[in-house]
Chain A
């Protein structure tokens, strides 16, 4: 998963436990998709409405199967692709982070322009001992979110960034 072009990869991967986090999230999404399609299929199949084509009413189980077949590969692949893509690095007082799945993003945030650093943990992340670091500047386009960090790493990085940002503070926004 080396990046093309003149940019090199950020040095650090996120925590390997992040794969489990993304798997868990994918599983939840899959269950939601499947449940939703089952509901719709049951509803349309049993309704006897005239605008529902006959072949569909007779074979309404096809809908959830189709949903499962289409979404499953994406959801299964997502955690592993994300683990390969998501990387971060702090050097030369600039945070360089890469993220994404189908759409990828590279973000460069100089520490001197950081306004706030937030370390957040959702319940799934707490379960796995992970944390998300949100690095905010005056612009949403210049702000970065690093997901799937080990919580100790995230805490250390947050403190380091906040400390360094204080030293480098300039008001040019």
Chain B
């Protein structure tokens, strides 16, 4: 399991850093009285976090402070209380800082917190699956970073977080933590990385592609969230800010009597959707870079909060290429990595923001591996099933509304009937497109399954990542002679489905991908599948 380490790496972990210049944390980084082992130095976070934590606690302090000022008036007494609050916050932050240490001892990382109760968390280095370095705005100003250490455990509690280390320390820790795991894991040698330089940029997404952002549908609801938040804030803090809830309510009533203003506001919000959404998208995906570094895939992005996520190549089992309706029209796609034991994979696993399809195919092939085969169509009966499912529920609703409209004579039912009919009609192209999306295939190394229309997704997974097969057949599927074939994969979502394959495909496809597993169970009279 563990390969031979060079001696400098073997004895006691980290070399003790020089105790001054630019890293004041190390001035305090002497061994604690309780742990007088030579060569060991528990480290503290950078003391600069003392500037961040109190500021971050301010909002929760603000309300009581404002309350004190209002109740007590602007007297010396209330200023005293306010000052006390601020001092207490700073003191709390300082104590938290002083009582938290971390240390790399041999082959594990230990974090200790001894505020009231003592807690020691030990993370074996070989368990570390990725390191996520991010720089929120204030950290960025002070040249600090937040280091999140992903251990692949399911709960968020199992992750270690070092909030506030200097950039140099973050780089050093990242190198030490990741280097150890890369060494300890007997993962498949990465020829591209071994031959080339240590760090290689796979893709750097040009700025003009950020314009595709609104097509992704991400952050589109931001204007509404902002407006809702503002209204909520007014109601919550209206009293404190000098105007009561009554004022807010009467404003609401006044608006209610002027519906055109409301309508205009709603329209404005809707018009703002692509712009604000696109802006948010650009802020989060600014200067997206995907790199190969020392057996890791590193994705960096973000304008204000610059994020860098490292995924161990040896744990990447495949990728998912996703495009929505609007994105397909523009010919752009997004991509995610399928990784074993990755928490929060929706944000961490992202390989590419919206880029042209050809680029995404090239990049995923370069970073993870190509899929070189066509997808096979599913039987025509699957098309009928897609159509039925897209049209029938709306048709039932429309008929019910029509009957009710006819019986009761109320106009209200027409408001149900017309949209239901419209949706039923729209169901026809939707169902056809859903059928066109269905497909599965195998190119000898990786298998691929694709489905979905409004959000079409194609998963490409390595053959060796498949841990089992599952065929599911509902009563309706049995009558149609189709099954849903699910490839069990110990990564990502856990299973990737080929929906409505024929019963023959349902048996021959697994037999093609993993012939050894299926051979005993295929009936002798059917000819063996040909690759």
A10 to B523, CA, bound (A): 11
Q: How many residues of A contact B (CB 8 A)?
A: 32
Specify the chain B residue showing the minimal Cβ separation from A106. B471
Q: Does A19 contact B (CB under 8 A)?
A: no
Q: Does B455 contact A (CB under 8 A)?
A: no
A28 to B250, CA, bound (A): 58
* List of A residues within 8 angstroms of B466 by Cβ: 142
* List of B residues within 8 angstroms of A106 by Cβ: 469-471
Given A4-B481, A108-B517: A138 and B523 within 8 A (CB)?
no
* List of B residues within 8 angstroms of A137 by Cβ: 467-468, 488, 490
Q: Is the CB of A141 within 8 A of B495?
A: yes
In the complex, which residues 497-531 of chain B have their Cβ closer than 8 Å to any Cβ of chain A?
Answer: 503-504, 506-508, 510, 514, 516-523, 526
A137 to B465, CA, bound (A): 11
Which of A94, A108, A113 has the largest number of chain B CB atoms within 10 A?
Answer: A108
Nearest Cβ in chain A — how far from B470, in angstroms? 5
* List of A residues within 8 angstroms of B507 by Cβ: 5-7
Q: Is the CB of B495 within 8 A of A139?
A: yes
Q: How many residues of B contact A (CB 8 A)?
A: 39
* List of B residues within 8 angstroms of A144 by Cβ: 468
Q: Is the CB of B503 within 8 A of A142?
A: no
Specify the chain A residue showing the minimal Cβ separation from B187. A171
A140 to B340, CA, bound (A): 13
Q: Is the CB of A8 within 8 A of B523?
A: yes
* List of A residues within 8 angstroms of B478 by Cβ: 104
Given A5-B503, A110-B517, A137-B488: A143 and B526 within 8 A (CB)?
no
* List of A residues within 8 angstroms of B495 by Cβ: 139-142
A102 to B475, CA, bound (A): 5
A7 to B517, CA, bound (A): 12
Given A5-B503, A6-B507: A143 and B522 within 8 A (CB)?
no
Q: Does B489 contact A (CB under 8 A)?
A: yes
Q: Is the CB of A108 within 8 A of B467?
A: no
Q: Is the CB of A109 within 8 A of B468?
A: yes
Q: Is the CB of A142 within 8 A of B504?
A: no
Count of A-B residue pairs with CB < 8 Å: 121
Nearest Cβ in chain A — how far from B521, in angstroms? 5
Q: Is the CB of B475 within 8 A of A108?
A: no
Given A6-B504, A6-B526, A104-B478: A141 and B518 within 8 A (CB)?
no
* Interface flags, A72-105, vs B, CB<8A=1, else 0: 0000000000000000010110101000101111
Q: Does A67 contact B (CB under 8 A)?
A: no
Q: Is the CB of B516 within 8 A of A92?
A: yes
* List of A residues within 8 angstroms of B475 by Cβ: 102-103
Nearest Cβ in chain A — how far from B481, in angstroms? 7
Q: Does A155 contact B (CB under 8 A)?
A: no
Q: Is the CB of A6 within 8 A of B516?
A: no
A144 to B510, CA, bound (A): 17
Specify the chain A residue showing the minimal Cβ separation from B477. A103
Q: Is the CB of B494 within 8 A of A140?
A: yes
**Residue from A8, A100, A107 in contact with B469 in the complex, judged by beta carbons closer than 8 Å:** A107
A143 to B494, CA, bound (A): 10
Q: Is the CB of B519 within 8 A of A92?
A: yes
Q: Is the CB of B468 within 8 A of A142?
A: yes
Q: Which 8 A-B pairs have the closest CB atoms?
A: A142-B488, A142-B468, A141-B495, A138-B490, A5-B503, A173-B490, A141-B488, A139-B488
A-B contact pairs, 8 of them (CB 8 A): A4-B503, A6-B522, A7-B522, A102-B474, A105-B471, A108-B469, A109-B467, A138-B340
